[in-house]
Structure 1
Amino acid sequence: MINTPGEFYDIGKKARDLLHKDYAHQPRVPIHFDYRSLKSNTDISCRVKDIVPIVPELNTLFSFVTPNSGKVELEYLNGLAGISGGIGLIQNDALRRFEPIANLSGVIGRGALFSFGTDLAFDIYTGQFNKFNAGLSLNSDFVNTSLSLDGLDSLKASCHCLVNPLTKTAIAAELKHSFSGNNTALVIGAQHAFAPSTLVKGRISTHGKVGALIRQGLWERIFLSLSGEVDFTDTNPNATLKIGLSLAVRLQMSII
């Protein structure tokens, strides 16, 4: 199911963004270059706050990943807790059709030192749950740690440490164990802003993959990212360097 920017998605988000966001290997990176192919998709999401004047805590969230999926959610935030529910369509490549998915997630302790949440997805077409995630996090101004269980198949622990807020210098690590594959992977990365609008990131994993990224702010809310990744364990003579290019536009509107 697509990741609408809800409250549960914020658990472990800082480490996940540093280690994975905008890198070339991402399945949903907006543009992915390869000398044999060119793949692209568009990821659009937005949040409309206070849709009902008498219920100021009620928000609407929309997300579209063309041509793969789309989703709409209602989110209620009250104090330290938040709950959201929605319905969407996700593409089934094997059967060449779109299937309706219902989603429910909730977080207790949002914005607090300690938070806990869960995320469920129900496939309406098959009548089965296709996702069950749970996570908890410890949050502070400089250190964020999280532990999450993804689909009862993998356990992931992550840590994000902000070294220098002025230069956005930070380090992060993610340790993930897959029960079905019986394997464990560790990813370590760091980022640093050489200028207010120029951010550089790098990472390395125990699977032999090394990646680097540079993100340039073009205007106040428009960012261009260029990334590359090398797999040193790939013995395929036709293996190539992965290059990714992404463009992000962040808009914020207030409707009176």
Structure 2
Amino acid sequence: NSADDSFPGLQSFYGFTVEEVLPGLNTVFRVVVPDSSQAELQYLRDYVGFSAGIGLKANSAHGFDPIANISGVIGSTVVSLGADLGIDITTRTLNKFSAGLSLNSAFLIASMTLSDSCDSVKASVYHPLNPPTMTAIAAELKHRISRDATTLTFGAQHALLPYTLVKARMNTDGKVSAVLRQEIWQRFYVSIAGELDLRDNNSIPRIGLSMAIKH
């Protein structure tokens, strides 16, 4: 038996990078067993980055499909613009497209993205109110064109104590969630999160616990 027959869903990742083939130019090779493999050429400079790759992606019907990906980003410390294209070489069709525009300043972080092959549009803003206490508010508007569905989400965060951060959000679909994050030791965090669907009378609140080490 192969590894994926004995352990369904098991994947192995292999990859290596050849850096600075030419100034700013890197070569990346990736293999995800048994799903895909890809060779990619990257050009990275200050405020500019482009990559182009070609590879194979597993297809349950007939083995592997050849695919090509092209992506790029350009901008500055304030504004940046990027796009990502995926092309199915066999059918010569565009099977992935996303683009984004972002604005980054001391008082406002905003972005707008087009994804899911132009089916989803998302705009978000984040505004810090009091950096010493990490107090901030945020909003996100997402529209799914094929379903004609729009969701608006509001959120806020505040540090109750120097090592205790609380986040909460609510959207127009009736979902409310909150996170309490506590720094136990330096760079070691424990978080308790909860979520409730107010529109579903049979909804059971979900509660989760997570731990993380951040560098």
Residues 73 and 194 of structure 1, relative CA distance in 2, 3 Å threshold: farther
Could you tell me which runs of 5 or more consecutive residues in structure 1 were left unpaired when the two chains were aligned. Answer: 1-47, 252-256
- Structure 1 range deviating more: 213-222 or 187-196: 213-222
Give the alignment partner of residue 209 of structure 2, picking from 245, 249, 253. 245
Match of 1:131 in 2: 96
CA distance in 2, matches of 1:152, 1:219: 44
- TM-score, normalization by structure 1: 0.62
Q: 1:84 to 1:200 in 2, by over 3 A?
A: farther
- The yes-or-no answer on 1:78 pairing with 2:45 is yes
The amino acid across from 2:155 in the alignment is G
After the TM superposition, which of the residue ranges 187-196 and 102-111 deviates more from structure 2?
102-111
Contact 2:26 2:43 in 1 (8 A): yes
Please say if 1:148 is aligned against 2:139: no
SS in 2 for 1:141: coil
From the CA coordinates, give the structure whose radius of gyration is larger: 2
Distance 1:196 1:213 in 2: 16
Instruction: Select the structure with the greater relative contact order (CA < 8 A; seq sep ≥ 6).
Output: 1
Paired residues of 1:89 and 1:101 also in contact (CA < 8 A): yes
> Do 2:21 and 2:27's aligned partners in 1 also have CA atoms closer than 8 Å?
no
- Partner deviation per Cα, 1:26-77 (whole Å, 9 max, x = no partner): xxxxxxxxxxxxxxxxxxxxxx9x943963x4578999x9xx9998966533
The AA in structure 2 aligned to 1:52 is E
RMSD of the TM alignment (CA)? 4.1
Instruction: State which of 175, 181, 190 in structure 2 corresponds to 1:209.
Output: 175
1:59 and 1:216 mapped to 2: Cα distance?
A: 39
State, as a whole percentage, how many aligned pairs show the same letter.
Answer: 50
Report the alpha carbon displacement of residue 241 of structure 1 after superposing the two structures with TM.
1.2
Does 1:114 find its partner at 2:79?
Answer: yes
Q: Provide the aligned length of Structure 1 versus Structure 2.
A: 204
Give 2:80's aligned amino acid. S
Change (3 A) 1:130 1:247: farther
Query: Which letter maps to 2:111?
Result: S
Q: Which amino acid aligns with 1:182?
A: D
> Does structure 2 conserve the Cα–Cα contact (< 8 Å) formed by 1:82 and 1:110?
no
Q: Which one of the candidate residues 185, 192, 196 is aligned to 1:226? A: 192
- Measured in 2, the distance between the counterparts of 1:144 and 1:183 equals 25
Q: d(CA) in 1 for partners of 2:172 and 2:185?
A: 36
Deviates more, 1:138-147 or 1:205-214: 138-147
**CA-CA distance at 1:209 after TM superposition:** 0.6
Unaligned runs of 5+ in 2: 1-16
Name the one with the larger strand percent: 2
Mapped pair 1:161 → 2:127: yes
Equivalent position amino acid for 1:250 in 2 = K
**Aligned equivalents of 1:90 and 1:154: distance in 2?**
24
Query: In the TM superposition, what is the alpha-carbon distance from 1:219 to its structure 2 partner?
Result: 3.5
Greater mean deviation of Cα atoms: 144-153 or 124-133: 124-133
Does the 8 Å contact 1:172/1:190 carry over to 2?
A: yes
Query: Quick one: which amino acid aligns to residue 107 of structure 2?
Result: F
Match of 2:138 in 1: 172
Compare 144-153 and 122-131 and name the one that shifted more. Answer: 122-131
Change (3 A) 1:180 1:54: closer
